[in-house]
Amino acid sequence: MSELSGKVQTVLGLVDPDQLGRTMTHEHLTMTFECCYFPPPPGDEEVAENPFQMQHMHWLRQNPYSCHENLLLQQETGAVRDELLAYRKAGGGTIVENTTTGIDRDLPTLKQLAKDTGVHVVAGAGYYVDSTHTEATKRMSVEKLTDIIISEVLHGADGTDIRCGVIGEIGTSWPITESETKVLRATAHAQTQLGCPVIIHPGRNPTAPAEIVRILQEAGGDISKTVMSHLDRTIFDDGELLEFAKLGSYLEYDLFGTEMLNYPYNLEVDMPSDSQRVKALAFLVKEGYDDKIVVAHDIHTKNRLTKYGGHGYSHILKNIVPKMLMRGISQNQVDKILIDNPKCWLTFK
Ligand SMILES: CCC(=O)NCCS(=O)(=O)O
């Protein structure tokens, strides 16, 4: 039996799963999102150049990806430290930090933030979407990718001895590219050897999550230990959602706090409100999936920090939980979503 078995691996070492407490399963504390810059709407170029003023904050909420400076979360470590202290005060215990290779993972900063704040931080192994894969990554075999991912969990990543405790977020586009397919297979192979949690970023198409599950399953992955992220912007039809839920992955609603009329990466998508997200959770709970739901904010741009008038990492604990209770989700079910499900997912087999 491995020393990881029955434990959760944080950036400060192994911990007993009961120590985690309330857990956000999909956040970023330091990263860059330059890979996904989207030009501003015509006529808005000037605002986009100079957005960090009070009168521009609404524009930034609507167009977060159209301002280069907004994409540099790695410049805000001080503000993030304050946020994590506030998160602890609000009753938070753990954050899963989903930054993988391609969007500037910074393990020493994660370790320092965990030390400074007392929040457990679990770091992610593996690769983000194809557009961030280097030519060298694209040339790698599945076996080589598997070895790298395993090493990031067992020995440490990016030339450090800081170990990842989860594989992901593994990025996929739609359609899924050849390089992403190799990374998905490597993820499944690594998971088979390690018995570890996996988390996936699906492309923006309602059929993407099921296609990913198919690829992982074919490669031997454990779907019951896998989180499918971003369902709030991916599957909208109740019937399709239940079909997907039957496949057995964790179901993640992780864009709480995001307000956006036009979702630039897919204009077909109407980004839901937080009330609609809570409604989706209540529906899944009613259908018997309370053991499978996990939640987060997926903070990945500066404007979502409280420093810039954003909702911050405590929004779910402070505002969404009361709304969940108001909409018929019981305290026991809330505790499953925030404590028991993340704990079960994050514990190595
Ligand atoms: C790195 C953060 C990330 O991938 N967030 C998801 C954004 S979106 O695909 O839901 O727009």
- Report ipTM (2 d.p.): 0.98
Express each pLDDT in 231-265 by its tens digit: 999 999 999 999 999 999 999 999 999 989 999 99
Best of 36, 253, 301 to mutate for ligand 1, by most ligand atoms within 8 A of CB? 36
Q: Tell me the HSE value of 292 on the side-chain side, using a 13 A CA sphere.
A: 26
Best of 25, 173, 298, 303 to mutate for ligand 1, by most ligand atoms within 8 A of CB? 298
Beta strand 8-10 pairing with 226-228 = unpaired
CA angle 231, 213, 121 (to 5 degrees): 60
Q: What whole-number distance in Å separates Cα of residue 231 and Cα of residue 204? A: 9
Beta strand 226-228 pairing with 198-201 = parallel
Tokens matching residue 178: 């050849």
Express each pLDDT in 20-42 by its tens digit: 999 999 999 999 999 999 999 99
Contact assessment for residue 197 and residue 166, using Cβ atoms and an 8 Å cutoff: yes
- Span from the CA of 25 to the centroid of ligand 1 (angstroms): 14
Which residue has a Cα nearest atom 4 of ligand 1? 201
| Cβ of 297 below 6 Å from ligand 1 | no
Look-up of token digits 């997907």: 244
At residue 51, the pLDDT reads 87
The string of DSSP codes covering 240-251 is HHHHHHTT--EE
- Span from the CA of 292 to the centroid of ligand 1 (angstroms): 21
Express each pLDDT in 81-133 by its tens digit: 999 999 999 999 999 999 999 999 999 999 999 999 999 999 999 999 999 99
Q: Of all atoms in ligand 1, which is nearest to the CA of residue 31?
A: 1
CB neighbourhood size of 273 (10 A): 13
pLDDT at 202 over 90: yes
CA 285 from centre of chain: 21
- Span from the CA of 2 to the centroid of ligand 1 (angstroms): 33
Tokens matching residue 119: 């929040």
pLDDT at 49 over 80: yes
Tokens matching residue 66: 């159209």
Is 300 annotated among the ligand-binding residues?
A: no
- Span from the CA of 6 to the centroid of ligand 1 (angstroms): 30
Per-chain mean pLDDT for the chain? 97
Is 26 annotated among the ligand-binding residues?
A: yes
| Cβ of 265 below 6 Å from ligand 1 | yes
pLDDT at 1 over 90: no
pLDDT at 196 over 80: yes
- The closest of 298, 292, 286, 271 to 324, measured between CA atoms, is 286
Is 311 annotated among the ligand-binding residues?
A: no
Is 178 annotated among the ligand-binding residues?
A: no
Task: Please indicate whether residue 18 or residue 259 has the higher confidence score (pLDDT).
Answer: 18
Q: Of all atoms in ligand 1, which is nearest to the CA of residue 265?
A: 11
| Cβ of 201 below 6 Å from ligand 1 | yes
pLDDT at 225 over 70: yes
Is 297 annotated among the ligand-binding residues?
A: no
- Span from the CA of 243 to the centroid of ligand 1 (angstroms): 23
Contact assessment for residue 98 and residue 199, using Cβ atoms and an 8 Å cutoff: yes
Best of 230, 269, 270 to mutate for ligand 1, by most ligand atoms within 8 A of CB? 230
Contact assessment for residue 119 and residue 93, using Cβ atoms and an 8 Å cutoff: yes
